[in-house]
A and B are shown apart, each in its own frame.
Chain A
């Protein structure tokens, strides 16, 4: 395969009823850097129905081109239709890279598409690097339960396809490009090709709680909390900082919290402005999910706890004494 025939960095911009998936905007920011490093164009690809508003937003996020496939068929996701559309687009335009969010749907069709195009797929990446010498993207992802990071390349075939976990890249303010080229593509997937049908969507009860992956401040608690009643003060701290409460896996295993609140390798990746970890030892499976936070505060009685290795502020002390005083002092300062 002649790799040089393949150009441009594509991002699949996923849309839901609530608009553009945040991970897609995160990806556009990161992919911009890669496109600049490769001196190639950044192209956003949207597939769905009624995409006008989304296209407008995407045009403001630093892309050079937008490709839109807008039809009723694509309103609800199906593996077959989305694989078909992307296979057609890739054959026609020959992108060098296709990035997508590691969402339920992204992870569902990315591998299938790669298989159809006989190329490589990389899942759940948390770091990207464009190697100017080889002109390959180097995709780094956790493996072996987060014990190891592996850097993977797809160095012989194109496009390079991969999913990227949410929350690992920050959305940067972008300079809007002049004359963004918008191309509408008419691709009809034959109905008989679509072998699945969504019969019912059972949405989770809407909660007013901030999702941890969206929160700017996170108070995280771990097994240092022994009784469920003790969690109240941490919830209070999270609330007064306008943030969310998150947990380590043992507290999910105890069924005190759902997996939606779990940070880490088998939970969510978060990168808030401020992370305060209380009674958390700092196992790699946990730190893999929070080490890209801007500022990390860790409170632990054990001065040798591994979490202090990634902390900006290593607070050594009993959190049941530290946190009430912290809350009280913050109240005083605010008055």
Chain B
């Protein structure tokens, strides 16, 4: 099986701080990490490779630093790594991102499956996977928690709101995976060293065949961020605090009762 995994490097949102005055993101000093669900996507791909043989290629669109995330992928089972990086890709929304990724995928070879994460930590849209599928004109399965190949079809278990669903999809297919069962493996010291030496194929926009420049970056985007602000914090309400916790509880009961809330 020839498998492509799309991965993105994202800021570690656990560490993100908001500037209290401007309300904008403070990015300085915030570590960039491999999007956690993309690590699960890679794990899913490596398991497919282990079951059916073949090759796993990881692909990312991002700044040159994103090589770090790709090396991390090589250390845990990716055979090849490709970074598409160019100013022209900047400020892409999901439509422009998925277009660039799909055009690169077409150039890199014939894949049976493209695996994506369910969503990224920064954009959190979950749209890139389905949109790659549309650009490729392939089948798609989202929310995948397990998958295998049977009689030339992908059989995937989807993790749904209220249960699970087993879906059969024609190959080639785009699968976006959830965490559930795909706990990523750890690299070994040896695999880390080897990954550090791995050559990462880097492509600029000009090096991607038939790429329509109007369809990438800002000009290829159909949505734009009009503004961003920190999550609202409201006005402090009425404080209830008595001598003892017990008295506080009884007072709360009476207040809620009088306000007809209980």
Chain A residues within CB distance 8 Å of chain B:
79-80, 83, 103-104, 107-112, 114-116, 118-124, 138, 141-157, 195-204, 217, 241, 273-274, 284, 287-288, 291, 295-297, 299, 303, 306, 308-330, 333
Q: Mark B169-194, 1 if CB is under 8 A from A, else 0.
A: 11001000000000000000000000
Q: Which of A142, A284, A291, A329 contacts B250 (CB 8 A)?
A: A329
By the criterion CB–CB under 8 Å, are B240 and A241 in contact? Answer: no
- In the bound assembly, the distance between CA atoms of A51 and B238 in angstroms comes to 48
Residues of chain B with a CB closer than 8 A to A311's CB: 236-237
Query: A104–B160 Cα gap in the complex (Å)?
Result: 6
Given the interface pairs A120-B222, A325-B250, A329-B249, the reply to whether A147 lies near B168 with Cβ below 8 Å is no
Q: Which of B11, B167, B249 contacts A196 (CB 8 A)?
A: B167
Q: Does B245 contact A (CB under 8 A)?
A: yes
Q: Which 7 A-B pairs have the closest CB atoms?
A: A321-B245, A325-B249, A145-B13, A120-B222, A329-B253, A111-B127, A195-B139
Of the candidates A118, A120, A310, A319, which one forms a contact with B234 in the assembled complex, judged by CB atoms under 8 Å apart? A310
- Say yes or no: B248 contacts A321, CB within 8 Å: yes
Number of A-B contacts (CB under 8 A): 263
The answer to whether the Cβ of B67 comes within 8 Å of any Cβ in the partner chain is no
* Contacting pair B238 A143 (CB below 8 A): no
Q: Could you list 18 further interchain pairs (A-B, Cβ under 8 angstroms) beyond the known A149-B231, A196-B140?
A: A79-B133, A80-B139, A107-B142, A112-B133, A121-B223, A143-B123, A145-B124, A153-B224, A195-B173, A196-B139, A196-B169, A198-B165, A311-B236, A315-B239, A315-B252, A319-B245, A321-B246, A329-B250
Per-position 1/0 for B6-37, Cβ under 8 A of A: 00000101101010000001000000000000
Q: Which residues of A contact B126 (CB under 8 A)?
A: 107, 111, 123
Given A148-B229, A325-B247, A333-B257, is A111 in contact with B125 using a C-beta cutoff of 8 Å? yes
Question: With A115-B131, A154-B222, A203-B163 given, is the CB distance from A309 to B250 under 8 Å?
Answer: no
Q: How many residues of B contact A (CB 8 A)?
A: 80
B122 within 8 A of A: yes
Instruction: Point out the residues of chain B lying under 8 angstroms from A327, CB to CB.
Output: 249
Q: Which residues of B contact A121 (CB under 8 A)?
A: 94-95, 125, 127, 131, 222-223
State the main secondary structure of chain A at its contact with B.
mixed
Alpha-carbon distance between A148 and B248 when the two chains are bound, in angstroms = 35
Q: Give complex CA distance A83, B155 in Å.
A: 21
Residues from chain A with a CB closer than 8 A to the CB of B14 are: 145
CB < 8 Å: which of B16, B166, B170, B228 contacts A151?
B228
Asked whether B167 lies within 8 Å of A147 as measured between CB atoms, the reply is no
- Please tell me which one of the listed residues A111, A124, A241, A318 contacts residue B131 in the complex, with CB atoms under 8 A apart: A111
Interface presence of B130 (CB below 8 A) = yes
> Cβ of A199 and Cβ of B131 under 8 Å apart?
no
A318, B133: Cα distance in complex, Å: 53
Q: Is the CB of A149 within 8 A of B230?
A: yes
In-complex Cβ contact of B226 among A144, A151, A203 (8 A): A151
Contact pattern, B 210-231, Cβ under 8 Å of A = 1, otherwise 0: 0000000000011111111111
Q: Pick from A107, A153, A199, A325: contact of B167, CB below 8 A.
A: A199
Contacts A108-B130, A109-B130 given; indicate if A147 touches B16 (C-beta within 8 A). Answer: yes
